[in-house]
C-alpha cells in the first residue's frame, strides 16, 4: 500500500489495515495472548476497535503496546507518517513531515517523528524469540516415565499421571530462553505461551505432542515436528532443513509485515521465567 492509497483510507479502513498488520491470523489479546473468546465491542458506548477478552477479562485495541497508544491522531495519519519516514532514504525533518501530512501543527509533526524514530531504534521484534525456536516441556524433578495406563481421566496429563510440575521452555537457537511452569500442557496453555513469546515469522520446532499442532500453523517459518524416538538424529535434520528454508526467507510480504510490526512496536509483553519456589 503506497502513501496516496493510505491517505485515502477512512479511519475504519486504516484501523482494519493496522489490525491486519499486527494480527495476520486474527486478533490476539494483548494482555494474555488468547485468540478465542474475544468479543468485538461495537456500538456508540465503546471506542472503535475495542475488543474484550473473556479469558482474562481485559479490553484492548490494536494500538495497545504500540507507539500509537494514547495518541489522539487518526490511525491514517500514523500509517502515512510511518510510510514517509520509512521510505525517506536520507531522513526527514519534522517540518517536511508536517507539510507532507498537511498537519496544522509543527509540534504534532515533531511528536510523530520522535515517536516513530524511537520505535525504529528498538531491537527488531524486541522481546519475541525469533529464527528457529524449539518448544519443549520438562518436569521439575526430572521427566516422568511414560504413562502406561488409560489416556483418560483426571490423572492423565502430559506428565503421564505425574505430580511433577511441568515447565514449558522455548529456546531460541543460540539465543534466549523463556520458561514458565504450567498447570497442564494442553493445546490452549501451550498456544498462549508460544504466541506471547515467539515472533510470528519464526520456525517452531517441537516434539510430536498434539498440543503444539494448532498454534504451530501460525508460524511463517513453519512447524517442524521432531519424533521423540529418533530425537537427536531427527532434530539435526529438521534444524538443517529449516535453517536453509529460513535463509531463503519468508516472502517479502511477510518480512514487510514483520518489519512494520517492529516499527509499530506491537510487542507482546514478554513472560519472564518464574519458577516455583
**Residue closer to Zn ion, measured from CB, 56 or 73:** 56
Specify the stretch interacting with Zn ion by CB under 5 A; choose among 28-36, 41-49, 86-94, 193-201.
28-36
Which residue from 190, 237, 227 is spatially nearest to 212, judged by alpha carbons? 190
Q: Which helix (H) or strand (E) holds 254?
A: helix 252-263
Position 260 contacts Zn ion (CB under 5 A): no
**Residue closer to Zn ion, measured from CB, 32 or 112:** 32
Rounded to whole angstroms, the Cα distance separating 188 from 150 reads 22
Position 32 contacts Zn ion (CB under 5 A): yes
Q: How many residues bind Zn ion (CB under 5 A)?
A: 7
**What burial class does residue 78 get, using C-beta atoms within 10 Å of its C-beta: 0-12 exposed, 13-18 middle, 19+ buried?**
buried
* DSSP 8-state code for residue 84: H
Position 29 contacts Zn ion (CB under 5 A): yes
- Closest separation in Å from C-beta 28 to Zn ion: 9
**Residue closer to Zn ion, measured from CB, 120 or 187:** 187
Beta-sheet pairing, 203-207 with 223-226:
parallel
Grid cell locating 150: 488409560
Residues 54-113 that bind Zn ion (CB under 5 A): 55-56
Position 53 contacts Zn ion (CB under 5 A): yes
**Residue closer to Zn ion, measured from CB, 6 or 34:** 34
Position 31 contacts Zn ion (CB under 5 A): yes
Rounded to whole angstroms, the Cα distance separating 256 from 83 reads 12
Could you list the residues that contact Zn ion (CB under 5 A)?
29, 31-32, 34, 53, 55-56
Amino acid at each position: 500500500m503506497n502513501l496516496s492509497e493510505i491517505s485515502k483510507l477512512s479511519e475504519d479502513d486504516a484501523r482494519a489495515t493496522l489490525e491486519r498488520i499486527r494480527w495476520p491470523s486474527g486478533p490476539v489479546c494483548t494482555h494474555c495472548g488468547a485468540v478465542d473468546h474475544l468479543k468485538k465491542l461495537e456500538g456508540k458506548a465503546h471506542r472503535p476497535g475495542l475488543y474484550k477478552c473473556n479469558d482474562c477479562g481485559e479490553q484492548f485495541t490494536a494500538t495497545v503496546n504500540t507507539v500509537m497508544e494514547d495518541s489522539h491522531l487518526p490511525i491514517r495519519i500514523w500509517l502515512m507518517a510511518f510510510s514517509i519516514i520509512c521510505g525517506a532514504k536520507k531522513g526527514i525533518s519534522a517540518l517536511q513531515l508536517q507539510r507532507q501530512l498537511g498537519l496544522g501543527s509543527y509540534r504534532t509533526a515533531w511528536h510523530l517523528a520522535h515517536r516513530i524514530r524511537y520505535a525504529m531504534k528498538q531491537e527488531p521484534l524486541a522481546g519475541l524469540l525469533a529464527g528457529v525456536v524449539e518448544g519443549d516441556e520438562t518436569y521439575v524433578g526430572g521427566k516422568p516415565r511414560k504413562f502406561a495406563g488409560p489416556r483418560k481421566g483426571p490423572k492423565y496429563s502430559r506428565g503421564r499421571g505425574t505430580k511433577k510440575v511441568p515447565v514449558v521452555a522455548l529456546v531460541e537457537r543460540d539465543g534466549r530462553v523463556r520458561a514458565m511452569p504450567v498447570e497442564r500442557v494442553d493445546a490452549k496453555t501451550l498456544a498462549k505461551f508460544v504466541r506471547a513469546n515467539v515472533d510470528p515469522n519464526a520456525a517452531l520446532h517441537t516434539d510430536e505432542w498434539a498440543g503444539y499442532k494448532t498454534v504451530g500453523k501460525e508460524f511463517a517459518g513453519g512447524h517442524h515436528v521432531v519424533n521423540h524416538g529418533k530425537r537427536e538424529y531427527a532434530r539435526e535434520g529438521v534444524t538443517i532443513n529449516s535453517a536453509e528454508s529460513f535463509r531463503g526467507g519468508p516472502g517479502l510480504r511477510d518480512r514487510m509485515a514483520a518489519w512494520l510490526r517492529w516499527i509499530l512496536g506491537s510487542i507482546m509483553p514478554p513472560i519472564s521465567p518464574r519458577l516455583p519456589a
